[in-house]
């Protein structure tokens, strides 16, 4: 982790200083820090600290809202880097979304950046995605992995509907279910309770975990 940079990023977020955060990102990129490291080692720890401060009521909802806007601006700054790695051979196809009733998009968007950087073709289904939409999109796009993000306990339980639909349609060997989001990091037992096939505590581990799941399907790697 780039601790000093992450602390600077946190200060920009707390001050709701989007321009400062973007300048910090630009100069880190020009110094040669890879996009993955910027997202995982600078932005993510700053967002996690924001989450802790929010839970302690030390920052406001407005600051949390701005943290999302700032994170989006940092993603955009990293887009050019994504283009550099898009020539890698495709590793697989995945559909990703936030489960029904969940609108916490930040974690999902970071996972998407990492998966694209690793060479996956990612179909982003957005927020508040129903079980039917997940399964139909996976079949339509030829994905072997469905990635579901959930931040809250109540919304995580909606993932059971995806598990049930996959099983009811006899797709268990064809489609694997990966889950993630802050709630699974606090309560790891939820992974099994929602019927997931795998998880990763951070975007950095999502590629390896989804690769493992893809290899476990009847078709294996494409
Ligand atoms: C930012 C935030 C918001 C923002 C979301 C902005 C956005 N565009 O995403 C806003 C203000 C909109 C919001 C709204 C709400 N929120 Co909120 N929010 C948070 C907060 C502070 C941070 C979440 C976050 O973005 N973390 C940063 C991301 C990057 O980290 P991450 O989620 O862990 O993701 C990483 C990994 O988990 C993994 N990952 C994530 N997804 C996936 C998927 C796969 C497949 C894989 C493999 C990996 C993976 O990779 C990511 C990157 O490394 C948390 C507090 C916390 N400690 O998490 C509360 C929190 C999640 N929210 C909470 C609540 C209650 C709400 C609201 C109900 C508040 C309200 N009363 O209106 C609403 C509900 C909205 C909804 N229905 O979804 C509660 C949930 C309580 C619970 N235990 O269930 C929390 C815990 C705060 C609290 N302690 O009260 N929230």
Final residue before a domain boundary, out of 38, 59, 85: 85
* Interatomic CA distance for residues 200 and 187, integer angstroms: 13
pLDDT tens digits for 87-134? Answer: 555 689 999 999 999 999 988 988 887 788 778 899 999 999 999 999
User: Of 146, 182, 205, 208, which is best to mutate to test ligand 1, by the most ligand atoms within 8 angstroms of its C-beta?
Assistant: 182
Query: Would you state the pLDDT for residue 45?
Result: 86
Task: Give pLDDT, residue 150.
Answer: 98
143 conformational bin, left if phi > 0, alpha if psi -120 to 50, beta if neither: beta
Confidence band of 82 (pLDDT split at 50, 70, 90): low
Which pLDDT score, from 0 to 100, does residue 37 have?
82
pLDDT, mean of residues 9-22: 92
Give the total number of structural domains in the chain.
2
Residues 103 and 203 reside in one and the same domain: yes
Residue 220 lies in a domain: no
Higher per-residue pLDDT: 174 or 82: 174
How many angstroms does the Cα of residue 76 sit away from the middle of ligand 1? 20
Ligand 1 midpoint to CA 108 (Å): 10
Q: What is the CATH number of the domain that holds 23?
A: 1.10.1240.10
> Among residues 54, 85, 116, which one ends one of the domains?
85
**DSSP character string of the chain:** --HHHHHHHHHHHHTT-HHHHHHHHHHHHHTT--HHHIIIIIIHHHHHHHHHHHHTT-S-HHHHHHHHHHHHHHHHHHHHHHHHHTTSPP-EEEEEEEETT---HHHHHHHHHHHHHHTEEEEEEEEEE-HHHHHHHHHHHT-SEEEEE--SHHHHTTHHHHHHHHHHTT-TTT-EEEEESHHHHH-THHHHHTT-SEE-SSGGGHHHHHHHHHHTSSS---
Mean pLDDT of 5-26: 92
Among 75, 96, 104, say which to mutate for ligand 1: greatest number of ligand atoms within 8 Å of CB.
104
Q: Quote the pTM value.
A: 0.80
Does pLDDT of 210 surpass 90? yes
pLDDT at residue 58 tops 80:
yes
Considering the domain architecture, whether residues 11 and 113 belong to the same structural domain is answered as no
Question: Would 154 be classed as within a structural domain?
Answer: yes
Last residue of a domain, one of 85, 119, 144: 85
Residues 80 and 166 in one domain: no
Residues 80 and 98 in one domain: no
Ligand 1 atom with the smallest distance to the CA of 102 is 78
- Judge if 104 and 202 occupy the same domain: yes
> How much is the pLDDT for 159?
98
Rg of the chain taking only CA atoms, in angstroms = 17
- Domain membership of residue 222 (yes or no) is no
Rounded to the nearest angstrom, the distance between the alpha carbon of 29 and the centre of ligand 1 is: 27
Residue 162 has pLDDT above 90, yes or no: yes
State the CATH number of the domain containing residue 181: 3.40.50.280
For residues 63 and 123, state if they share a domain: no
Closest residue CA from atom 33 of ligand 1: 182
Q: Which domain holds residue 51?
A: 3-85
Structure confidence at residue 29 (pLDDT)? 87
> Residues 25, 74: contact at Cβ < 8 Å?
yes
pLDDT of residue 11 exceeding 60: yes
Same domain, 67 and 125: no
* 166 CA from centroid of ligand 1 (Å): 26
Q: Is residue 33 domain-shared with residue 139, that is, in the same domain? A: no
CA of 164 to the centre of ligand 1 (A): 24
């Amino acid at each position: 982790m780039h601790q000093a940079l992450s602390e600077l990023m946190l200060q920009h977020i707390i001050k709701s200083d989007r321009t400062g955060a973007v300048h910090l990102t630009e100069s880190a990129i020009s110094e040669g820090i890879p996009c993955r490291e910027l997202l995982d080692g600078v932005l993510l720890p700053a967002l996690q600290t924001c989450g802790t401060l929010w839970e302690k009521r030390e920052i406001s909802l407005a600051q949390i809202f701005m943290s999302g806007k700032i994170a989006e601006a940092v993603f955009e700054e990293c887009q050019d880097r994504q283009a550099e790695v898009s020539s890698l051979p495709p590793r697989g196809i995945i559909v990703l979304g936030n489960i029904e009733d969940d609108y916490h998009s930040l974690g999902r968007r970071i996972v998407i950046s990492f998966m694209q950087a690793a060479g996956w073709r990612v179909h982003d289904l957005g927020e508040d995605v129903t079980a039917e939409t997940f399964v139909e999109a996976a079949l339509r796009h030829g994905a072997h992995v469905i990635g579901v993000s959930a931040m809250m306990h109540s919304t995580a339980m909606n993932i059971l509907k995806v598990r049930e639909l996959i099983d009811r349609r006899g797709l268990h060997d064809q489609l694997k279910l990966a889950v993630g989001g802050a709630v699974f990091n606090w309560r790891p037992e939820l992974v099994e309770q929602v019927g997931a096939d795998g998880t990763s505590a951070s975007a950095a581990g999502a590629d390896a975990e989804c690769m493992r799941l893809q290899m476990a399907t009847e078709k294996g790697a494409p």
